């Protein structure tokens, strides 16, 4: 590796270009200073545009050499969660796990063996999927822990893969107007934030829509406070303003969306050529105003109607845009204002700017999808707003399509989504799940409904294994814990995951040897495979696997080699695929697949636990558990440098809600609902609206006076999301009450 700029190395240290491996998904390039096999320091990488560090990456040596790191395999000797452990050898640990897995597999079927993992390096997840496949088990897809409603929406709207959908809304060279919608990139997505600040410096105004006043809101030209979970109604109200004034972009709608496609009134499906003439043609049909007759969508020189009702071959049809207009007609600004608490005047101004300041860039993150069980509809409404105003970047997102099958040498495992895992454990649907293996996935801390999981589901599991660096909440409930390396201790490949992360591939390099008795995932899985008698799984070196990953044959990976990656990060080539991978190849604000849920259009549905449901009489406050500014989920709570800044969990509450409950700043409060409780310190502040309380998630039970924040959340499945991708945990669609309690 040749350094691109002069770097002042720690005296005697080698400087190695690697990647911050901790799972915020951004994958910042960093330089590691290593002397005599010890990681001493981390600094920003030296490649233009890739440089970023934060309090987390700078704390790397503190994390790697933390005295509390798990040092050897241990088995539980007390009750689950009691914290009594006995060190054992790797041989005994793997032997015990292998024999138990074989027993459970024989008794309930091998797909009752559940595996879940998280991590930025590709090895983490792909190896786990591969191992699940090799033993006939089930991989638990983890996106449903708050990150799957966005992809649900973007798959419907754009056919977008995973988290790349937001690219359509904001990848403009020079945005004239920026809207951060339920998104706080100033705290959580630094690369995206740079683009926004650069646009702002060039004159673009920034509007921030969020129930709470965030760092991003503090930089806004206009901050709009919205009632939690009602964002789709705001988008519909804005669209009403836009259509009323004729500010929509008809040319864009006809060219890039399903606006002119006729929808059959009898069954809600798009009219196809086969419906009106002989043959099996699936071509979509439009109404040509020139000829005053139906035509297929691909015919040239037509003048497609987007408004009206037409009868074709005896079938009554309407263009999809007519149906959208009818929905939008139901949301005049007055009504949308009543739902969202956004003043009519503000909504009108925002809508007019959004439609006329082209291009308007919208930044969504994931926040907006967590405030409602129907978070996918929130994003579909925003996508539709962007589409009707032509504020869409019509190009295929920048993806890195590496070889997903690298470790799936022994077949593909069963897949269960995170929320369906609860069903599988509790009700054995779609099949029993009797063991749970978690690689660096702090499931009991980060997934919803803690009490239900630990009290009702956990006892049904016959084996729980945690592979982690620390005694996390989840490790505490395990039967066997295995010490994993820190990601500075193995080679891996880090790729963009879209949504504010880097655009390039880079090597995560092994810069130090594994500490204590910790092992890398490859070593752990190959050891376990051997004990289970699975032959030929993991017979290559880490670098060889990286080469296989790169060699996917996909055009985006053209020209990328391990040698080049050793030198510098590599940008994938543009994806030649058409921009929209929806069934129609266009932006779909009307989605056939969702018609049976009455969600073919981006309708507004009041959140499940909204402040306007009967449950709110008992539990009047919404709670949001937002991403921390200085930590990453449950990580870094054990780093002294970070705790010096972020000292303890606090509950943000408005003065309006604090006063009638006799709560003063700094008081201990109990937050509760029917599912559970948590006790922590109240922080009375004006950045939180009435009827919302907020806290940063990621703290573990021992950081609270009692309980835990995940005891409040629920694991309700939205079936429409399950039908399209993965159901999402709507963490912030949660009602609670709070009361002051005495210390001690």
Say if residues 401 and 557 touch (Cβ distance below 8 Å).
yes
CA distances from 449 to 395, 479, 671, 676 (A): 40, 21, 14, 8
Asked if 59 interacts with other proteins (CB under 8 A), we say: yes
Using rule CB under 8 A, residue 205 touches other proteins: yes
Q: What is the DSSP letter of 489?
A: G
The residue range among 114-122, 183-191, 487-495, 513-521 that interacts with other proteins, by the rule CB under 8 A, is: 183-191
566 is a site residue for other proteins (CB under 8 A)? no
Given phi > 0 = left and psi -120 to 50 = alpha, else beta, which region is 313?
Answer: left
Q: What is the DSSP string of 650-718?
A: EEEE-HHHHGGGT--TT-EEEEEETTEEEEEEEEE-TTS-TTEEEEES---GGGSSEE-GGGT------
For residues 368 and 376, give the distance between their C-alpha atoms in angstroms, rounded to a whole number: 9
Q: Is 53 in the site for other proteins (CB under 8 A)?
A: yes
Cα 252 to the center of its chain, rounded Å: 29
Q: Quote the crossing angle between the two packed helices 333-340 and 344-356, to the nearest 10°.
A: 110
SS3 170: helix
Q: Measured from the CB atom, is 472 or 637 closer to other proteins?
A: 637
Binding segment for other proteins among 344-352, 438-446, 565-573, 716-724 (CB under 8 A)?
A: 344-352
C-alpha span between 377 and 728 (Å, rounded):
12
Classify burial at 95, counting beta carbons within 10 Å of its beta carbon; exposed 0-12, middle 13-18, buried 19 or more.
middle
By CB under 8 A, residue 6 contacts other proteins: yes
Binding segment for other proteins (CB under 8 A), chosen from 389-397, 542-550, 606-614, 641-649, is: 641-649
Question: Stretches 145-153, 373-381, 605-613, 636-644: which one binds other proteins (CB under 8 A)?
Answer: 636-644
Considering the rule CB under 8 A, would residue 41 count as an interface residue with other proteins? Answer: yes
Please, which residue, 190 or 620, has the CB nearer to other proteins? 190
Element (H, E) at 124: helix 122-134
Q: Which two tokens stand for residue 522?
A: 């490859």
Binding flag, residue 629, other proteins (CB under 8 A): yes
Contact 115, 461 (CB under 8 A): no
Is residue 363 at the binding interface for other proteins, with CB under 8 A as the rule?
no
Pick the stretch among 189-197, 291-299, 447-455, 542-550 that binds other proteins (CB under 8 A).
189-197
Interacting residue with other proteins among 71, 84, 107, 194 (CB under 8 A): 194
Q: Contact at 8 Å (CB) between 368 and 375?
A: yes
Closer by beta carbon to other proteins, 460 or else 681? 681
Work out which of 58, 88, 415, 722 binds other proteins, going by CB under 8 A: 58
Size of the site for other proteins (CB under 8 A): 51
Contact between 187 and other proteins by CB under 8 A: the answer reads yes
323: Cβ contacts below 8 Å, ≥ 6 apart: 263, 590, 600, 601
Q: What are phi and psi of 44, to 5 degrees?
A: -60, 150
Among 1, 197, 265, 722, binds other proteins (CB under 8 A): 197
Query: Is 685 among the residues that bind other proteins (CB under 8 A)?
Result: yes
* Per-residue x/- track, 217-236, other proteins (CB under 8 A): xxxxxxx-x-----------
When binding is defined by CB under 8 A, the residue of 363, 630, 636, 699 that contacts other proteins is 630
SS3 372: coil
Minimum Å distance from CB 505 to other proteins? 21
358 binds other proteins (CB under 8 A): no
Q: How far is CA 309 from CA 35, 281, 293, in A?
A: 74, 23, 12
66 is an interface residue for other proteins by CB under 8 A: no
Cα–Cα–Cα angle for 37, 39, 42, nearest 5°?
Answer: 150
**Rounded-to-integer distance, Cα 604 and Cα 215, Å:** 28
Q: Does 301 engage in binding with other proteins (CB under 8 A)?
A: no
Residue 668 binds to other proteins (criterion: CB under 8 A): no
* Residues of this chain that bind other proteins (CB under 8 A): 6, 8, 41-44, 51-55, 58-59, 186-187, 190, 193-194, 197, 200, 205, 207, 213, 215, 217-223, 225, 346, 349-350, 353, 629-630, 640-642, 644-645, 650, 652, 665, 683, 685-687, 689
């Amino acid at each position: 590796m040749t350094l691109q700029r002069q770097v002042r190395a720690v005296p005697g240290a080698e400087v190695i270009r690697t990647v911050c491996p901790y799972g915020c998904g951004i994958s910042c390039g960093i330089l590691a200073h290593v002397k005599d096999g010890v990681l001493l320091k981390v600094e920003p990488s030296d490649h233009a545009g890739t440089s970023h560090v934060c309090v987390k990456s700078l704390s790397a040596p503190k994390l790697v050499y933390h005295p509390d790191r798990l040092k050897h395999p241990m088995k539980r000797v007390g009750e689950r969660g009691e914290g009594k452990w006995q060190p054992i050898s790797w041989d005994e640990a793997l032997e015990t796990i292998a024999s138990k897995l074989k027993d459970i597999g024989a008794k309930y079927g091998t797909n009752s063996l559940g595996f879940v993992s998280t991590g930025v390096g590709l090895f983490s997840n792909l190896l786990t999927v591969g191992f699940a496949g090799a033993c006939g088990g089930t991989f638990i897809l983890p996106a449903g822990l708050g990150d799957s409603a966005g992809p649900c929406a973007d798959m419907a709207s754009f056919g977008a893969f995973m988290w790349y959908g937001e690219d359509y809304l904001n990848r403009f060279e020079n945005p004239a107007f920026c809207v951060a919608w339920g998104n706080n990139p100033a705290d959580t997505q630094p690369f995206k934030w740079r683009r926004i600040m650069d646009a702002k410096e060039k004159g673009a105004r920034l509007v921030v829509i969020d129930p709470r006043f965030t760092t991003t809101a503090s930089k806004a030209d206009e901050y709009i406070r919205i009632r939690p979970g009602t964002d789709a109604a705001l988008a519909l109200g804005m669209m009403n303003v836009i259509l009323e004034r004729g500010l929509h972009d008809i040319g864009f709608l006809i060219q890039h969306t399903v606006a002119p496609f006729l929808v059959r009134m009898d069954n809600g499906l798009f009219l196809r050529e086969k419906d009106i003439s002989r043959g099996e043609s699936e071509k979509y049909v439009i109404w040509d105003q020139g000829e005053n007759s139906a035509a297929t969508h691909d015919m040239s020189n037509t003048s497609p109607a987007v408004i009206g009702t037409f009868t074709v071959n005896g079938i009554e049809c309407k263009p999809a845009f007519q149906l959208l207009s009818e929905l939008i007609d139901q949301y005049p600004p007055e009504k949308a204002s009543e739902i969202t608490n956004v003043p009519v005047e503000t909504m009108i101004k925002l809508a007019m700017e959004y439609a006329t300041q082209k291009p308007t860039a919208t930044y969504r993150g994931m926040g907006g999808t967590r405030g409602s069980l129907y978070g996918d509809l929130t994003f579909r409404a925003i996508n539709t707003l962007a589409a009707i105003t032509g504020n869409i970047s019509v190009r295929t997102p920048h993806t890195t399509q590496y070889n997903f099958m690298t470790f799936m040498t022994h077949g593909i495992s069963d897949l269960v989504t995170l929320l369906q895992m609860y069903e599988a454990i509790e009700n054995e649907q779609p099949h029993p799940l009797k063991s749970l293996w978690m690689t660096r996935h702090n499931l009991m801390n980060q997934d919803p409904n803690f009490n239900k999981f630990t009290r009702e589901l956990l006892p049904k599991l016959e084996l729980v294994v945690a592979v982690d660096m620390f005694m996390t909440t989840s490790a505490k409930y395990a039967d066997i814990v295995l010490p994993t390396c820190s990601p500075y201790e193995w080679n891996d490949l880090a790729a963009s995951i879209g949504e504010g992360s880097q655009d390039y591939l880079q090597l995560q390099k092994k810069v130090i040897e594994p500490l204590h008795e910790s092992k890398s995932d490859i070593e752990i899985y190959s050891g376990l495979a051997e004990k289970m008698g699975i032959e030929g799984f993991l017979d290559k070196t880490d670098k060889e696997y990286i080469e296989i990953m790169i060699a996917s044959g996909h055009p985006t990976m053209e020209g990328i080699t391990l040698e080049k990656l050793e030198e510098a990060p590599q940008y994938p080539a543009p994806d030649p695929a058409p921009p929209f991978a929806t069934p129609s190849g266009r932006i779909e604000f009307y989605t056939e697949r969702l018609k049976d849920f009455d969600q073919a259009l981006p309708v507004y549905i009041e959140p499940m636990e909204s402040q306007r449901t009967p449950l709110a009489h008992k539990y009047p406050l919404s709670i949001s558990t937002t991403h921390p500014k200085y930590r990453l989920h449950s990580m870094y709570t054990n780093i002294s440098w970070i705790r010096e800044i972020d000292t303890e969990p606090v509950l943000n509450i408005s003065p309006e809600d604090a006063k009638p409950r006799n709560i003063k700043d700094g008081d201990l409060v109990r937050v509760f609902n029917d599912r559970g409780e948590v006790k922590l310190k109240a922080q009375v502040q004006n950045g939180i609206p009435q009827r919302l309380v907020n806290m940063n998630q990621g703290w573990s039970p021992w950081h609270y006076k009692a309980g835990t924040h995940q005891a409040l959340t629920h694991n309700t499945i939205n079936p429409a999301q399950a039908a399209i991708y993965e159901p999402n945990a709507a963490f912030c669609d949660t009602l609670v009450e709070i009361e002051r309690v005495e210390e001690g």
